[in-house]
Amino acid sequence: MFTLCSFVTEVYSIDEVKLLKPLLGMDKRERHKDEVIFRALEITIPEFGSYLYHAVDVNMTPGRALYSISDGELINTYIAASSKTWDERAIAIKIPIRRGLMSYRLLLIHKADLDKFANIKTLEDLNILTAGLQRDWVITEMFEQANMNMTTSHTFEGVFSMLEKRRFDYTPRAIYEAYDELNTRRNKLPNLMVEPNLALYIPLVTHVYVSKSAPRIAQRIEAGLRKMEKNKELDKLLNKYYEEDIKRADLANRRIIYFDK
């Protein structure tokens, strides 16, 4: 467990922020999320004082993280796609830290199935095919509500291995995820690719969630994020980590299929 502490000369109570150490290591998504949280804590030192940061080294799926944040013992802060379930179980800070970028999805497919996507123009066309999703993703619930054809995996890696085996036709990944996820698995899963002409728009935002047992931390992070929103730091951080992905996705030259929840 790693601890980072910031100090000021005045005496305050110390906020103890407990974040889950990421399952997949410190890729740019995790670096971005951590920097958003750290900056929100730093920028509020004058009002709230010092803080402690703990990276909890426990493997958790999003479903388990939801369960854990409810009592706040192991983790008390988590960044997740907004959903009714998360809103009910934790304090939601309604400031989209990825500025809506999560809504745009590219399709990871098997190279042998590329021709299947050539004539897809609408959501109804896409629903002829089958999506592959992890069981406890927020987007999985949205696919279910829309009666989309889909199959699920219990694990994140299972989604990729099942796609390699052509157990389904595609998996929708955010534009800042798709290329990196393929690159890190290129040797193991050589037959996967990003479909070159399509993108989905699924209304989805990323929020910071804080345990109901830690309302002061929620107040502090919200105050920090509002400052960062006002001074454009949230936008600058987004560009710092995802500018190249946005360019590479080239959404202006893709057919966007709008997802109706």
Q: Which amino acid is at 215?
A: P
The answer to whether 223 and 215 are in contact (CB under 8 A) is: no
Displacement of CA 57 from its chain's centroid (Å): 19
State which H helix or E strand residue 5 sits in. strand 2-6
**Mean pLDDT, the chain, whole residue set:** 90
How much is the pLDDT for 29?
85
d(CA 146, CA 149): 9
Q: Which of 76, 7, 12 is nearest to 47 (CA)?
A: 12
Strands 255-258 and 198-201, by their bridges, are parallel
Measured at the alpha carbon of residue 169, what is the angle toward residues 25 and 113, in degrees to the nearest 5?
Answer: 110
The closest alpha carbon to 53, from 68, 35, 26, belongs to 35
- What is this structure's pTM? 0.83
Which helix (H) or strand (E) covers residue 187, if one does? none
Nearest CA to 220 out of 82, 79, 38, 32 is that of: 38
Q: What confidence tens digit (pLDDT) does each residue in 15-49 have?
A: 999 998 765 456 788 889 889 999 999 999 999 99
What confidence tens digit (pLDDT) does each residue in 231-260 have?
A: 999 999 999 999 999 999 999 999 999 986
- At 141 the three-state DSSP class reads helix
